[in-house]
Amino acid sequence: MIRLKHLLVENNKIQFPVIVTDSFKGINADEFHAFNDTGGKIIGGMNIKVNKELEKIYAAGFNPNISDVKISMNNKGYLVKWSVTITESKDQKAWIGIYSRGGAGSGTVPHADPTNPNNASSPGQAAKSSYIRDRGTVDEFVQILDYKYYPNNGGVHVRQIFYKYTLEEFPAKSAPYIAVTYTSDNPPYIDLLKNPRAELIASVLKQSPGIFNDYEAWAEAAFMAIKTNSKYTQVKKLLRQDPYKYVKSFMDTSKRYHSRPIDISYDFIINY
């Protein structure tokens, strides 16, 4: 059964990352690498399941992105497990689809070759899939994983190429906040003091969760810039989720990182 981790959809709120996982079991080499279907028969259903979640996220107002694909295969029993991680797109593109093609063979290297433009697994050929055409018109088609399963014990070998793509029918959502990129050497403190607009506050909050380390002090400064309940409501609308719940998802709001803990700022906003 499909499992969704860290997914919260409530009044158009999304908690990233969204992780879609599932497994399937084939009966032969062809079905062993049928991550979605083969011969008109749905086997793994990956495209269907992941794309459904991508469309949900898009409908909630976010540009989705497929940031990671993990595969585990065992040719003894033709068992396959897969996991796809969906995050918010950082390139202002709505990556609305996942697709894969590959090959399998007993004891031989499969003939999948994404570098050969005439090979069925190449991006040019894979993008012509009738499944994708039924969804819309491809704009961008990008390889995200070249998975190779070549076990030492012989048996079925697999090479599967995974792609993500955008469609013209799903144009990127415009960011409702200011697209300003801050860094450790260029923090947002002065800008928040000089011009504490709701758009800037939402932008700083959006950038506070880092890739390796979070910028808790930025989020704290952003909350200090919210002086009234009405501005809090504006930030909430721009952020598309409650700011306080958002920051609590990645930091300790009772701790001081810059000047004043967020819990204290939030209490002032709500009660005064």
Query: Which of 113, 133, 167 is the C-terminal boundary of a domain?
Result: 167
Residue 107 sits in the same domain as residue 212: no
**184 within some domain:** no
Residue 20 sits in the same domain as residue 60: yes
Output the pLDDT for position 155: 83
Residue 148 sits in the same domain as residue 69: yes
CA 137 – CA 182 distance, rounded (Å): 35
Output the pLDDT for position 13: 55
CA distances from 55 to 164, 241, 247 (A): 13, 18, 25
Count of structural domains, the chain: 2
Output the pLDDT for position 11: 35
Q: What is the pTM of this model?
A: 0.67
CA 246 – CA 209 distance, rounded (Å): 10
Beta bridge partners of 18: 86
**180 within some domain:** no
Residue 235 sits in the same domain as residue 140: no
Query: Which residue's entry shows tokens 């704290």?
Result: 220
Residue 32 sits in the same domain as residue 62: yes
Asked if residues 90 and 160 have their Cβ atoms less than 8 Å apart, the reply is no
Helix (H) or strand (E) holding 193: helix 189-194
Query: Which residue's entry shows tokens 């031989």?
Result: 108
Residue 148 sits in the same domain as residue 22: yes
What are 82's two structure tokens? Answer: 């897969």
Asked if residues 238 and 202 have their Cβ atoms less than 8 Å apart, the reply is yes
Output the pLDDT for position 109: 66
Residue 139 sits in the same domain as residue 193: no
Residue 225 sits in the same domain as residue 157: no
Q: How far apart are the first and last CA of the chain?
A: 48
Domain with 14 in it: 3-167
Residue 113 sits in the same domain as residue 199: no
**257 within some domain:** yes
CA distances from 154 to 74, 76, 108, 146, 194 (A): 11, 10, 9, 20, 66
CA 214 – CA 220 distance, rounded (Å): 12
Output the pLDDT for position 108: 67
The counts of H helices and E strands in the chain are: 10, 9
**213 within some domain:** yes
Q: Tens place of pLDDT for every residue, the chain, 272 residues?
A: 333 333 333 334 578 899 999 999 999 999 999 999 999 999 999 999 999 999 999 988 889 999 999 999 999 899 999 999 999 898 889 999 999 999 998 766 678 999 999 999 999 999 999 999 999 999 999 999 999 999 987 789 999 999 999 999 999 887 666 666 788 888 999 999 998 999 999 999 988 887 567 899 999 999 999 999 999 999 998 888 899 999 999 999 999 999 999 999 999 999 87
Side chain identity at 200, as an amino acid letter?
L
Say how many residues make up the chain: 272
**154 within some domain:** yes
Residue 121 sits in the same domain as residue 256: no
What are 237's two structure tokens? Answer: 């609308």
**173 within some domain:** no
